[in-house]
Chain A
Amino acid sequence: MALELPENVVVSKLDSLASWCRKNSLWPMPFATACCGIELMATGASKHDIARFGAEVFRFSPRQCDLMIVAGRVVMKMLPVLQRIWQQMHEPKWCISMGACASTGGVFDTYSVVQGVDRFIPVDMYVPGCPPRPEQLIQAIIDLQDKIQAEGTLSGKEFKYSARQQPKRALVEITGLPGMDGGRNPVLLGNDKRGLRHG
């Protein structure tokens, strides 16, 4: 027997509803350290208008944000700050690594520049470019919205699966690089099982 529903009632899953709310109201935390930050500002400005995708409310307080946009290179002195801000953001939260430097270190393959923030914090979306155009960042936000809708749950249990985060190729790589002692990292040494599990 079919259930009779009035026209103004829609049946959905609660997970889907929660994800729909979340994806259309992303509050970015602009972690802008270099020229990508300028493109990030352009994305927020009226011409490209990130408000069309519900992500216009930039907050400089991590406790009010759920989307970290790392725009620009991160030096080793800045990385503890980045990690602290990431930890201060409340779940559910996502991270976009914007541009070549944030994703890989870019041309700055030097002693002080972190070779990709994904080595130390989880990243959901990578934006190529040096710097990427606002359209590319908007595309990343659209893709992230699709991702949230596809796998988001009300309880946020998709974040709890540690297996979801595969060991990073880069982390495996640096242990074998000649002349570098990535071995100082307790995670790489294997002393820190906590870190190994999550790669």
Chain B
Amino acid sequence: MANQATVDLIHLVSSGAKVSEYAGQTRVVVPADVLFVVMERLKKQRGFDLLVDVTCVDYLHYRDATDRFGLVYLLASTESNERLTVRVFLNEPDLVVPSVVALWAGADWFERETWDMFGVTFSGHPDHRRILMPDDFTAFPLRKDYPLQGRGERHNFPVLGRAES
């Protein structure tokens, strides 16, 4: 469970933030426009010095879901052992959030992976490229509307016979 001071700080920065508890874990949903400010304050004032993960969930076809994508930031403090889940909901076509690489250098590859798999853009990222898929890949494969077997990309290569090689 997060410290009350952390919850107070989030409410202070963003009145629209929704804080909830589940199984002893604290979750915060913040609007995309205040994400960077919230994260910056959490790091500098509440000592969240470790960004454990950045990932995303696609809620297409999910029951009772109102938003398409839910970004997930998992924070931890190595000083106080406090943990916090920060979430941001996004909808097409506005899939842009500020990058937090300036705060945690470890966010670099997490954000690239989220871009690669879900197509969420992280503005201000120093190296905004795909990380897992080839650079010329055009789809975002972990989106729920992308077929499991792909759209033929895995077959899109020249065939080398004996005579060509």
Which residue numbers of A lie inside 8 Å of B, CB to CB?
76-77, 79-80, 83, 86-87, 109-115, 119-122, 159-162, 164-165, 171, 174, 177, 179-188, 192, 194-195, 197-199
Contact = CB atoms under 8 A, between A and B. Distances in A.
B133 to A, nearest CB: 7
B159 interface: yes
14 contacts: A83-B158, A115-B154, A161-B162, A164-B162, A174-B152, A182-B155, A184-B152, A184-B156, A185-B157, A186-B158, A187-B158, A188-B155, A198-B161, A199-B161
Contacts of A192: 158
Contact of A119 (B139, B151, B155, B162): B155
B150 A180 contact: yes
A23 B150 CA distance: 40
B164 interface: yes
A98 B155 CA distance: 20
B148 to A, nearest CB: 6
A128 B123 CA distance: 48
Contact of B164 (A77, A80, A181, A194): A194
A160 B163 CA distance: 6
B86 to A, nearest CB: 30
Interface in B76-130: none
Contacts of A161: 162
A115 B157 CA distance: 12
A171 B159 contact: yes
Contacts of A110: 148-150
Given A87-B165, A112-B133, A183 B152 contact: yes
Nearest to A161: B162
B149 A111 contact: yes
A43 to B, nearest CB: 25
A113 B141 CA distance: 13
Contacts of A164: 162
Contacts of B24: none
Contact of B159 (A76, A179, A180, A195): A195
A21 to B, nearest CB: 21
B161 A197 contact: yes
Contacts of B146: 111
Given A111-B150, A180-B150, A198 B162 contact: yes
A113 B33 CA distance: 38
B148 A185 contact: no
Contacts of B141: 111-112
Contact of A83 (B133, B156, B160): B160
B132 to A, nearest CB: 8
Contacts of B164: 87, 194, 198
Contacts of A159: 162-163
A184 B153 contact: yes
A120 B69 CA distance: 37
A182 B158 CA distance: 12
B50 to A, nearest CB: 30
Given A77-B133, A86-B165, A111-B146, A121 B160 contact: yes
Nearest to B159: A195
Nearest to B161: A198
A179 B147 contact: yes
Contact of A109 (B149, B151, B160, B162): B149
Contact of A174 (B132, B147, B151, B155): B155
